[in-house]
Amino acid sequence: MNLAWLLPYLVLYFGVLSHGVSRPAVVNIGAIFTFDTINGRVAKIAMNAAVEDVNSNPSFLGGSKLNITMHDSNYSGFMGIIGDNLILVILIPLLITALQYMEENTVAIIGPQSSVMAHVLSHLANELQVPLLSFTALDPTLSALQYPFFVQTAPSDLFQMTAIAEMVSYYGWREVIAVFTDDDHGRNGIAALGDKLAERRCKISFKAALPPDPGTTRSEITDILVKVAMMESRVIVLHTYAKSGLLVFDVARYLGMMESGYVWITTTWLSTVLDSMPPLPLATANSIQGVLTLRPHTPDSKRKSSFISRWSQLNGSSIGLNPYGLYAYDTVWLIAHAIRTFFDQGGNISFSNDSRLSDVVGGTLHLEAMSVFDGGKQFLDNILKTNMTGLTGPIQFNSDRSLIHPAYDVINVIGTGFRQIGYWSNYSGLSVLPPETLYKKPPNRSSSNQQLYSVIWPGETMKKPRGWVFPNNGQQLRIGVPNRFSYREFASQVRGTDTLKGYCIDVFLAAINLLPYGVPHRFIPYGDGLKNPSYSELVNLVTTNVFDAAIGDIAIVTNRTRIVDFTQPYIESGLVVVARVQKLNSSAWAFLRPFTPTMWIVTASFFLVVGAVVWILEHRINDEFRGPPKQQVVTILWFSFSTLFFAHRENTVSTLGRIVLIIWLFVVMIINSSYTASLTSILTVQQLSSHIKGIESLVKSTEPIGFQVGSFAENYLSEELNIHKSRLVALGSPEDYAIALESGTVAAVVDERPYIELFLSSHCKFSIVGPEFTKSGWGFAFPRDSPLAVDLSTAILTLSENGDLQRIHDKWLNRKACSSQSTELESNFLHFSSFWGLFLICGIACFLALLIYFMLMVRQFRGQQFPEDSDPSTRGSLRSGRLHTFLSFVDDKEEESKSKSKKRQMESMSNANMKEDESRNGSMTRETEISPERHNGDTWP
């Protein structure tokens, strides 16, 4: 905006420089509104009431009085902005008139009413440092960074666009049409809506711009709505002003756009009409039936109820109170609180000249008389730090200057009034509980927690509209169908005609016949019919709008789901390996086939281990497990392998031995029965064999691999399994499969199961080897977020449940299989992996039994009496001897061990007695030797 056009006229508004006093008798504030609008009329009454209430308490401002001067901006004469920097001539007189009526020493301005004027006046407020507060200019682009002196005292339109986006997502719609006034207010609001919808994977499919108010005519609206009616989406968001909005609904009703199937959501302009103009004229009420709208939420309180009761006295019953009247009242009190804080801080209301302005145009316009509020920054800071409770609830600003806890009522228009169906808050989303009751709980934005009451939609129906239809523009859905060369049973063009037929075609036609609406379409063959087309290229053509959809045997794989939406799979699929097989003749060593070599080795090892464990546990107490070493080895081997036939003759006596044996016999029973069943199958059922065992052996080999032309198998084999492309051989038809496999050109063919099953129905020399190594399905491809994909998925599920899908399958794909296909492909070996759990249990039982047995033996051994030698030189040999003694103790029979223990105990006691006697004899001998000396000493003098 070129400020050179506007600054000369500021002199008329702010006046000459004045020197304020600390406590002036009067504090001036201004207001710029359009008085002939609903919000303008309500705001004027509410602001005058607020000023009166502030002044009724002289102590609130310390003896100062609050004075508000209002100016009618005559919004009906405003024509808007053209170009980048040029304002229409009519805007200049508007500003001149507005500034002429303003008093000097104005510390704040309430308004303007429109976002268009707010963008202009905010530049002036920045220059003169006078706060500009508006509760109706709620454009999201009026940011604090660009306009630091502009403050929105009501929730920004960003929040109501978030609420609308969440409502659209809540009802499961994906596309909306935006009808809006083509000015800053409309364009910026719809831009915010588009961003919020995109966050929820929704979008605006069409934007219909209305001429700026009040120049909109009925004929212009009719032309716009006719275009809207031609669109696919039936969810319409109307973001405009009251006059234009009501005219839009009148025209929409005339065009039949208020009937069943349509969804209309408006911004807060409609709720102001409902609140301020009750009851509505019958014609107006009939044209807005079933519409959803938002209303700024203001919590109930005694102050609010008292003001509502007082309202009829204030306005003379000329207009009803709406939430913006409450915001107008609170805005005046917000300024009053900031003024009181300003005074308490010792601030003086004073103004000074800005000498820089005198040189803007040349110094001849007396710009030196322009006044700048000296305390403007401090006063603005007080406004933003105000913490008060008003008629609209708690008033406090966040760090981004937005009000705390923005919330809206969700309203459904019914009859001549409305019904509230819920709330939206930035804290917890959609809810049927008032937001203030949820602020005490942790925020919960989960989809299961989002709730609204039932809605009566346009057409007086409670059934939720689908939200879209096929556009009524005479265009048919362009559906790409692969014109196959091979496996024509799935999809192909009838030679010499434009008709397409096949399994996939029948499934699609059966599904759309179940939809509650018609789907005009035409099939377009894709491919020359001489070779199978590339399915990846076919899907890409859907994304480039060459086709509106693609149907056929299209596999749902990861790289395709990134660019299109698929329906529910209508047939299961997955890659399998098919190879040539030959009959496996019986031989003299056929009895070894049931077990793999590993299984044979592990089983034999466990026979020996269990036999050894039972021998250890029974050796001391069971005579059948004793004898010479050679006999004991034979006993172990005999006992081990005789358990295979449950023919063991040796009885187990110990508890631990019996536990181990019971567990082992259970394992033997399972292994025996499995071996018997497998061997019976080998000897009685014809077996087929192939050197290719599955995809693993195929990847490890260096042999060539065949794949179907156009299939995703080529990319999967090369990119996912890292098979070099030189090994991949493209094959075009089932006959090519057979020739390549028969001649050895390829070792195996990798293709999807439906194709292979059809191939094997007529080629009996081949069979599937190994398991299916991918899991996927076939589906119909549509552009991203297409609602038709969702509806067709539901229809496919219905076909599956009622059996029609199976009947279509039998019609096209049911073929009599070869007799050899009933045989098994090479007997499935019994692998160790199938039995390792049993062996693990048995091994743990053996280990625990041995551990318990060892602990018992150590305990018994410590209780025995053994000779000790205190000579240090013999301690080393004592340890080895003690170990030898322990082993002998374990090897001895329990009775023999006990008798030896008693014998050692007796010997120990005898040795002790002998030592005691020797000790006594020694002492007596020493006394005898000493006694003669004593005698001689006694007799001699």
Amino acid residing at 277:
M
Q: How far apart are CA 429 and CA 448, in angstroms?
A: 11
pLDDT exceeds 60 at position 623: yes
Query: Domain spanning 579-584+688-775: which superfamily?
Result: Periplasmic binding protein-like II (3.40.190.10)
Q: How confident is the model at residue 438 (pLDDT cuts 50, 70, 90)?
A: very high
How many helices (H) does the chain have, and how many strands (E)? 29, 36
Given the candidates 3.40.50.970, 3.40.50.2300, 3.30.428.10, 3.60.20.10, the CATH classification of the domain at 26-152+302-395 is 3.40.50.2300
* Least confidently predicted of 176-185, 421-430, 485-494, 600-609: 600-609
What value does the mean pLDDT of the chain take? 82
Tokens of 123: 């530049």
Q: How far apart are CA 435 and CA 403, in angstroms?
A: 14
Residues paired with 578 in a beta bridge? 749, 768
Percentage of the chain modeled with pLDDT above 90: 48
Which is more confident, 553 or 78?
553
Position 816 scores a pLDDT of 62
Q: How far apart are CA 147 and CA 132, in angstroms?
A: 10
Strand 766-769 relative to strand 521-526, pairing: unpaired
Spatial CA neighbour of 261 closest among 97, 60, 465: 465
Position 585 scores a pLDDT of 54
CATH-assigned architecture of domain 477-573+777-813: 3-Layer(aba) Sandwich (3.40)
| 594 three-state secondary structure | coil
Kindly give the residue spans of alpha helices, DSSP state H, lying in 685-721: 695-700, 713-715
Sheet of 150-152: strand order equals: 65-72, 26-33, 106-110, 132-134, 150-152
Packing angle, helices 302-315 and 38-55, rounded to 10? 110
Whether the CA torsion 443, 446, 448, 451 is positive or negative: it is: positive
Which is more confident, 266 or 816?
266
Which is more confident, 310 or 359?
310
pLDDT exceeds 60 at position 103: no
pLDDT exceeds 90 at position 592: no
Cα torsion for 514, 515, 521, 522, to the nearest 10°? -20
pTM comes to 0.68
Q: How confident is the model at residue 15 (pLDDT cuts 50, 70, 90)?
A: very low
User: What is the rounded average pLDDT of the residues 764-768?
Assistant: 86
Buried b (16+ CB within 10 A) or exposed e, 270-303: bbbbbbbbeebeeeebebbbbbbbbbbbbbeeee
DSSP letter assigned to residue 775: -
Percentage of the chain modeled with pLDDT above 70: 79
pLDDT exceeds 60 at position 890: yes
Residue with tokens 């119909």: 780
Start-to-end C-alpha separation, the chain: 152
> How wide is the angle at C-alpha 561 spanned by C-alphas 557 and 567, nearest 5°?
90
Q: How far apart are CA 619 and CA 626, in angstroms?
A: 6
Encode pLDDT of 234-259 as tens digits. Answer: 999 999 999 999 999 999 999 999 99
Q: Look at the domain 157-299+406-449 and name its fold.
A: Rossmann fold (3.40.50)
pLDDT exceeds 50 at position 98: no
Position 88 scores a pLDDT of 40
Position 830 scores a pLDDT of 73
User: What is the rounded average pLDDT of the residues 898-927?
Assistant: 56
* Least confidently predicted of 211-225, 355-369, 582-596, 650-664: 355-369
Which is more confident, 278 or 817?
278
Spatial CA neighbour of 321 closest among 98, 49, 83, 56: 49
pLDDT exceeds 60 at position 929: no
User: What is the rounded average pLDDT of the residues 843-865?
Assistant: 79
How would you class 324 by CB atoms within 10 Å of its CB: exposed for 0-12, middle for 13-18, buried for 19 or more? Answer: buried
Q: What is the DSSP string of 872-907?
A: GGGHHHHHHHHHHHHHHHHHS-HHHHHHHHHHHHHH
Encode pLDDT of 498-523 as tens digits. Answer: 889 999 999 999 999 998 888 889 99
Whether 579-584+688-775 and 157-299+406-449 are alike in CATH topology: the answer is no
How far are the Cα atoms of 185, 269, 311, 455 from residue 276, in angstroms, in the given order? 22, 11, 12, 23
Q: What is the DSSP string of 200-237?
A: TT-EEEEEEEEPPTT---HHHHHHHHHHHHTSSB-EEE
pLDDT exceeds 60 at position 928: no
User: What is the rounded average pLDDT of the residues 37-50?
Assistant: 94
pLDDT exceeds 90 at position 637: no
Q: How confident is the model at residue 6 (pLDDT cuts 50, 70, 90)?
A: very low
Q: What are phi and psi of 671, to 5 degrees?
A: -65, -40
User: What is the rounded average pLDDT of the residues 823-844?
Assistant: 71
Q: How confident is the model at residue 93 (pLDDT cuts 50, 70, 90)?
A: very low
Sheet of 235-239: strand order equals: 203-210, 175-181, 235-239, 263-266, 292-296, 407-414, 417-425, 429-431
Position 584 scores a pLDDT of 57
Report whether the peptide linkage leading into residue 434 is cis, meaning its omega lies within 30 degrees of zero.
no
- Asked if 480 and 549 touch (Cβ cutoff 8 Å), the reply is yes
Residues paired with 414 in a beta bridge? 417
Which is more confident, 354 or 371?
371
Residues paired with 152 in a beta bridge? 134
User: What is the rounded average pLDDT of the residues 389-403?
Assistant: 93
Q: How far apart are CA 272 and CA 760, in angstroms?
A: 72
Q: How far apart are CA 224 and CA 247, in angstroms?
A: 12
Buried b (16+ CB within 10 A) or exposed e, 567-583: bbbbbebebbbbbbbee
Encode pLDDT of 337-358 as tens digits. Answer: 999 999 999 888 888 876 555 5
pLDDT exceeds 80 at position 873: no
User: What is the rounded average pLDDT of the residues 912-927?
Assistant: 56
H or E, element range at 613: helix 597-618
Structural domain spans, the chain: 26-152+302-395, 157-299+406-449, 477-573+777-813, 579-584+688-775, 590-684
User: What is the rounded average pLDDT of the residues 155-178?
Assistant: 95
Q: How far apart are CA 404 and CA 612, in angstroms?
A: 80
Most confidently modeled range among 102-111, 392-401, 443-452, 813-822: 392-401
- Asked if 209 and 180 touch (Cβ cutoff 8 Å), the reply is yes
Q: What is the DSSP string of 614-641?
A: HHHHHTTT-GGG-SSHHHHHHHHHHHHH
SS3 per residue for 40-83: HHHHHHHHHHHHHHHHCCCCCCCCCEEEEEEEECCHHHCCCEEC
User: What is the rounded average pLDDT of the residues 550-564?
Assistant: 93
